[in-house]
């Protein structure tokens, strides 16, 4: 009926340019219709390019710490009212979700004890034998005939029953040495007795 051009339109009867909201043509006197829902082509194209199609199924979307839920489906949900260029999506933002506060280094830091309590306290009996004590027991059990070997056999048997590896090793060596020197001492005493008895016969 008429052509739109900026703020003016052309009358469809006489072709003259008149104001947009003019009801009657001042040139030919024809009555004109007023269209309040005129939308520029470039505005419509911009709105169509910015529009987003949403799925009709239930959608749960979180953005900027908000939870979004879809509105109920309506027959005219996708229709934009005449004369309105704003786009209204079919979801609303509800239930503000407060972001979690990050733990500070003091809260998240884990402290570990530097003391290892898995091992029992070490007592004097669990300590390794000193070198001086080993030397003394060895000399006493080898030099002193009879009694020394007896003490060495008993001490060696006690050390063999210990859980400490060093004590077991020394006890085994002391027991073997005591037995060897006991046999040697026995043969020496036996030889001495035989020699003395032979000398007594000649006298």
pLDDT tens-digit series, residues 25-58: 888 877 776 554 444 434 444 444 444 444 444 4
One domain, residues 26 and 66: no
Domain-located, residue 106: no
Domain-located, residue 72: yes
* H runs (alpha helix) in the chain: 41-50, 105-108, 131-143, 147-160, 165-202
Interval 104-128 mean pLDDT: 51
For position 162, what pLDDT does the model report? 87
Q: Is 116 helix (H, G, I), strand (E, B) or coil?
A: coil
20: its two tokens: 């947009």
For position 100, what pLDDT does the model report? 63
Domain-located, residue 167: yes
One domain, residues 149 and 190: yes
Model confidence at 192, in pLDDT bands (50, 70, 90)?
A: very high
One domain, residues 179 and 135: yes
Query: Which residue has better confidence, 133 or 72?
Result: 133
CA 193 – CA 187 distance, rounded (Å):
10
One domain, residues 158 and 182: yes
Domain-located, residue 117: no
Q: Which domain holds residue 145?
A: 131-202
């Amino acid at each position: 009926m008429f052509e739109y051009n900026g703020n003016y339109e052309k009358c469809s009867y006489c072709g003259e340019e008149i104001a947009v909201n003019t009801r009657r043509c001042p040139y030919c006197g024809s009555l004109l219709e007023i269209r309040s829902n005129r939308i520029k082509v470039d505005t419509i194209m911009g709105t169509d390019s910015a529009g987003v199609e949403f799925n009709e199924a239930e959608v749960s979307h979180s953005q900027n710490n908000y939870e979004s839920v879809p509105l109920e489906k309506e027959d005219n949900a996708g229709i934009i009212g005449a004369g309105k260029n704003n786009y209204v999506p079919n979801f609303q933002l509800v239930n503000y979700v407060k972001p979690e506060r990050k733990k500070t280094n003091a809260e998240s830091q884990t402290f570990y004890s530097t003391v290892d309590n898995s091992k029992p306290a070490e007592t004097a009996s669990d300590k390794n034998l000193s070198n001086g004590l080993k030397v003394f027991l060895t000399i006493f059990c080898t030099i002193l005939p009879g009694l020394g070997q007896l003490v060495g056999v008993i001490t060696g048997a006690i050390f063999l029953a210990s859980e400490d590896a060093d004590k077991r090793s020394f006890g085994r060596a002391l027991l073997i040495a005591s037995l060897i020197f006991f046999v040697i001492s026995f043969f020496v005493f036996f030889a001495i007795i035989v020699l003395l008895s032979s000398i007594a016969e000649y006298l």
